[in-house]
Amino acid sequence: MKLLRTHSLVASLCATLCFTAFAPAEVKPAALFSDHMVLQSGMAVPIWGTADPGEKVAVSLNGKTVSATADADGKWTVRLAKLKAGGPFEMTIAGRKPGDAPIVVKDVLVGEVWLGSGQSNMEFYVSKQGPGHAPYGLLDEEKEIAAANYPQVRMFTVKDTKSYTPQAEAVGEWKVCSPETVPNFSAVGYLFARDLNQALKVPVGIILSAYGASTAEAWVPREALAADPQLKPMLDKLDARYSYFKDHPAANDADAPPSPQTINSRGGRPGPLRDPAQDQHQPTVLFNAMIHPLLPYAIRGAIWYQGESIVGGPGGLLLYHHVMETMVTQWRGLWGEGNFPFYVVQLPGQQNVSNNPLVREEQAKILSLPNTGMAVVLDTSEAKNVHPHNKEPLGDRLSRIALANVYGQKIEYSGPVFASAKVEGSAIRVRFTHAAGLTAKDGPLKWFQIADADQKYVDADAKIEGDSVVVSSPQVSAPVGVRYAWDNYPDTANLYNGAGLQAAPFRTDDWDAMPPIAAQMTAK
């Protein structure tokens, strides 16, 4: 009897395993295609998911149906023709198995979709009660939250995760903006989306994929790092350390190959060896987990707030703009939408080496790429806080760049930007673009400095004359260099244009490959 029972259990187990092995796969869209989503208007919109190999899948939206057949790996993709802004709609996704009910995705809007990425200041929540440990929360957050009744604004927040290999699925869900949901929204993403929605009167969706303390190279695909002689060494070291970790999971950190010398220059930690792929400072791990699963969701463009992690010394600092250019170029290529807009937030001031003019200078080099923009926010600085609470100007300035350059509105979108400098006797005349209505806010101009051939800068007098500023000092009779807001914490820098937009910091010299601030970084 006992033998019969054993045979019966084995047969039952085999039947279960066989059923599981050959059970039909359920038609399933990627997590991005779920209730309350926003789809991009005006371009082909990919919809994708999984099903049985060879199964035909039909996707219907607003009276139009397109279909595709799942490939040998069970993956399918359809492309909806250019959509017009509107909604709400229902999307149905149906396979061809008898009796299978179609999946119905409800409350679908069509409008403008933007990706928000970077590190903690992009994650920074509207409310200080939001998830996470940093001191988040907007200025006057109670008033902001109470007013956040914008049902056409939606946000999909990708769960923080890291991976050594590219992942197929993002974890998250679309949320409709309301006073109940907005406390856990990215503040920058929310303010940007709100301003676009109110200006354009169309739905706006934000896909928020950001990770606190992350470095730029963590967001770059492996193939790009491997093909670049400047970037490959950090990838090789990650690979060696990861392989050692897999073979020696109980090892001490000191026994493992050295950590990659990333822009953050993060070394190992005493004690047990940790999985290097679970460190957001390491190359490619965030692209794999938090960007790859989003490809190729149709987007209009991206906003980016990152840079506080550039504390690895001058070598890492000088590599930053190359990493950023690589990242932007790679993302654009993988999305297949051409040179989509990419707008960055330049770091505000802080009394800390992480926020310094050399970092801002490197950030500004992204403007050499087409269709890029930069929001200058020195006036949001907080002396001792790397997470300043005044995020309202960021939303306004980023949305202005988009409204002018993407949506064709005739508005000023940039503060004054250095154009040229000319010595006139004992003074230097500095000219700017975006200079209509130059003004000194709250008193005389501050934070201009001037130097002669001894290369020692002194504080200068600066006066506005039309679209230029004339800079001089009684201590300098033959000036050769001028700079503005060139400090970690230029909190009172006050040159603006008539649109109320702040001037970008600049310098005219490149005298020292190792200026004092870079030396501070080395000391750190």
Q: What is residue 21's predicted lDDT score, i.e. its pLDDT?
A: 42
Q: How far apart are CA 26 and CA 29, in angstroms?
A: 10
Q: How far apart are CA 357 and CA 1, in angstroms?
A: 83
47 Cβ contact partners less than 8 Å away, ≥ 6 residues apart: 29, 33, 59, 77, 78, 79, 80, 91, 93
Print burial letters for 491-518: b (CB count within 10 Å at least 16), e (below 16): bebbbbbeeebbbbbbbbeeeeeebebb
12 or 414: whose pLDDT is higher? Answer: 414
Q: How far apart are CA 215 and CA 120, in angstroms?
A: 11
Give the strand order in the sheet containing 417-424. Answer: 417-424, 427-433, 468-472, 461-465
Spell out the domains of the chain, with CATH numbers in brackets: 113-228+283-413 (3.40.50.1110), 232-282 (no CATH), 417-523 (2.60.40)
Beta bridge partners of 94: 58
Q: What is residue 129's predicted lDDT score, i.e. its pLDDT?
A: 87
Q: What is residue 267's predicted lDDT score, i.e. its pLDDT?
A: 66
The full length of the chain comes to: 524
- Asked whether the beta carbons of 126 and 184 are under 8 A apart, the reply is yes
Between helix 516-523 and helix 314-335 the angle, nearest 10°, is: 90
pLDDT in tens, 340-367: 999 999 999 999 888 999 999 999 999 9
15 or 187: whose pLDDT is higher? Answer: 187
**pLDDT band, residue 309 (cuts 50/70/90):** confident
pTM, full prediction: 0.93
Query: Counting beta carbons within 10 angstroms of the beta carbon of residue 304, is it exposed (0 to 12), middle (13 to 18) or buried (19 or more)?
Result: buried
301 pLDDT higher than 60: yes
Q: How far apart are CA 197 and CA 403, in angstroms?
A: 11
Q: What is the mean pLDDT of residues 123-142?
A: 90
DSSP letter at 237 equals H
Please list the alpha-helical segments (H only) found in 124-176: 141-146
pLDDT in tens, 237-291: 999 999 999 999 999 999 999 888 777 766 677 899 999 999 999 999 999 999 9
**pLDDT band, residue 44 (cuts 50/70/90):** very high
Average pLDDT for the chain: 92
Q: What is the mean pLDDT of residues 214-225?
A: 97
pLDDT in tens, 379-412: 999 999 999 999 999 999 999 999 999 999 999 9
416 pLDDT higher than 80: yes
pLDDT in tens, 64-123: 999 999 999 999 999 999 999 999 999 999 998 887 899 999 999 999 999 999 999 999
Q: What is the mean pLDDT of residues 306-327?
A: 88
